[in-house]
A and B are shown apart, each in its own frame.
Chain A
Amino acid sequence: MQLFFQDLVNGVLAGGILAVAALGFSLVWGILNIINLAHGTFIMLGAYITWQLFTSFHLDPFLSVPIAFAIMYGFGYVLQRGLINQVVRAPILATFLLTFGLSLLLVNLALIVWTGDTRAVSPAYSGANFTVAGVTVPWTKLATLVAALLITALMHVWLVRSKLGRAIRAMAMDVGAAQLAGVRVAHVYAVTFGLGAGLAGAAGALLSLSYSLNPSMGEPFLIKSFVVCVLGGLGSVQGALVGGLVYGIVESFASQLDVTVLGQHLSGSGLQDVIALVVLLVVLVARPTGIMGRAAA
């Protein structure tokens, strides 16, 4: 029973970061109709920005979160404005491949800049934890969860209240109508992609406290972001949050699996991508209408 609660808590703690990561992915997908295959790479870049600031200037990782957000926002804005806007109306394959190519480019640049060595961000307090009713909670992970919830809430308020947020939501409903009402499409597309990249950067900064860093660390988070989006529903803040927490819990329990099939020993902790795929397929098949049946234009 104690193990059950420990798994549950671990899942919720992990789910917060997943929610932030998936929120950026979900915005870009829901509003621009782009599957950003470089999203995982943006998360990696956010983590490395944090690592660099921590190593060079001893900056606390939590203080790096807004910096990583800002840098990645600017980067995302320029990328969309300069490159992706050129082919955003092409068949989906174009943006799929374009973001994949960008991801390959950035991962290899990161390999040159930071090498393939595994890095870690470990401030003095990183090992501290407390125990409630036999369940151990690391302080950093709890603080990460709080930060993640804060970011999600801020994002929600901004989308609902601000003028630009309204423009983004208007475009999600009808690009043509939004354009007629005076929304500058190219600019708002770039802002949206920038936000997606910024949220990925923030997620990367938060991740750097609990995961080790290497240039290919982003790929599993890309797949997880996708699963969280499908779980929670597209383009909505609440969806990403609920999906992130649910997925975090599912993964936490699944990683405890230890099965032997036909003499083959399989342990859940080595099969993260398989678990993500199974969850994805189950959701897609169990909900044949709604999210799944929607044909992309």
Chain B
Amino acid sequence: MNRLLRGLGLGGITGSPQAFAVSLGIMALLLALPALHNGYLELTFRNILMFAAMSYGWNLLGGYTGYVSFGNVVFFGIGAYCSAVLSAHHVDSLLADVPVALVCAALFAIVVGVPILRLRGHYFGIATLGIALAAADLANNLDVLGGSGGLALKQVPQEQFSLYYYAMWAVALACMLGTFAIARSKLGYAFVAIRENEDAAQVLGVWPTRYKVTAYALGAMMTAAAGAVYAPANGFVDPSIAFAVDDNVFPIVMSILGGMGTAAGPFIGALLLAGLNEILQSQFVKIHSLFFGAIIVLVVLFLPRGIVYLIGLRGGMRRYLADRAAFRV
């Protein structure tokens, strides 16, 4: 078991302490970024922080309890639309947007989570994907949400734009520290028990449904907070932005690349992949999705256990090939 845990890149319940310390250090540096007065860098890193928060949101359920959600973007959309609808009612403050988004996302996660978290494996994955597609479908048809035309939001004046950057930074930091604290608490151990063997966990007194729904709801809140800050920062929300396919799958690939079920993995993954995507997007405007597809394929084929696994690997190339061969037929 110990070997298996290490093989998955899970030194302890929060993963490698060094990786977490490095992540915190990078976060501290990022706080100083607006001092450079570089709008492009600020936008790029705000995106990276947003993806970090969304990856943390996915990681709590997907990485810690092992339930693979393929539709977490629905919570991003809920967060974004909360801000948009509030703005339509002349409430334009992140201090209102974020709490409302947190409450809405948590409620939605609980209502939806109770029935669908009884599903396992593929069934759960596809049910969440179905919910994400259905939500986009619904938003396209609801006049309250502006239909397919979307909603515009009132933004702060240009010279105060760093506000959105700081807000996203705070959300990402809260997700990082939150994941660390949750993983080390009783909750985290219950999540991992469910991942390793749900039936055994139940026998030992862990009530799976309760913990799974908790993980789902907490992850939903992290994702929704990112959406609630993104919407006013972007100034506009429509179904194709709020429920974008990229935003749905990016966090999963980032969590895998950085290391699932760790407190630093999602941040490291987001930093690497969102950074790479930014470069691709600026170099290949029209076909960057093509490269994105290729990146996913390459990550799954060559780094199915994440980059932290690769760094901590003992035994070199031979061990790496042996680990990969275990997945082959």
A interface, CB within 8 angstroms of B: 29, 33, 35, 83, 85-90, 92-94, 96-98, 100-109, 112, 185-186, 189, 219, 223, 226, 230, 264-267, 270-274, 276-277, 280-281, 284-285, 288, 291-296
Contacts and interface: CB of A to CB of B under 8 A. Distances in A.
11 contacts: A35-B122, A85-B328, A89-B326, A97-B249, A101-B294, A108-B289, A112-B290, A186-B329, A264-B142, A274-B134, A284-B116
A101 B296 contact: yes
A288 B296 CA distance: 34
A221 to B, nearest CB: 12
Contacts of A29: 122
Contacts of A33: 122
Interface in B293-317: 293-297, 299-301, 304
B300 A97 contact: yes
Given A96-B68, A109-B290, A277-B133, A88 B328 contact: yes
A234 B326 CA distance: 27
Q: Nearest 9 pairs between A and B by C-beta? A: A296-B121, A101-B296, A104-B293, A105-B293, A108-B290, A90-B327, A277-B130, A101-B297, A277-B134
B217 interface: no
Interface string B102-127: 00000000000001101111110111
Contact of A87 (B123, B129, B137, B328): B328
A280 B127 contact: yes
A274 B137 contact: yes
A105 B123 contact: no
Given A108-B287, A270-B141, A92 B122 contact: yes
Contacts of A219: 133
Contacts of B329: 85, 88-89, 185-186, 189
Nearest to A33: B122
B144 A264 contact: yes
A295 B208 CA distance: 14
A108 B290 CA distance: 6
B137 A295 contact: no
Contacts of A90: 304, 327
A98 B301 CA distance: 8
A83 to B, nearest CB: 7
Given A87-B304, A281-B116, A294-B121, 16 more contacts: A83-B297, A92-B122, A94-B300, A101-B297, A102-B297, A104-B289, A104-B296, A108-B287, A226-B126, A265-B143, A270-B137, A270-B141, A271-B138, A276-B130, A293-B120, A296-B120
Contacts of A272: 137
Interface string B131-147: 10110111011111000
Contacts of B301: 83, 86-87, 98
Contacts of B324: 86
Contacts of B54: none
Contacts of A83: 297, 301
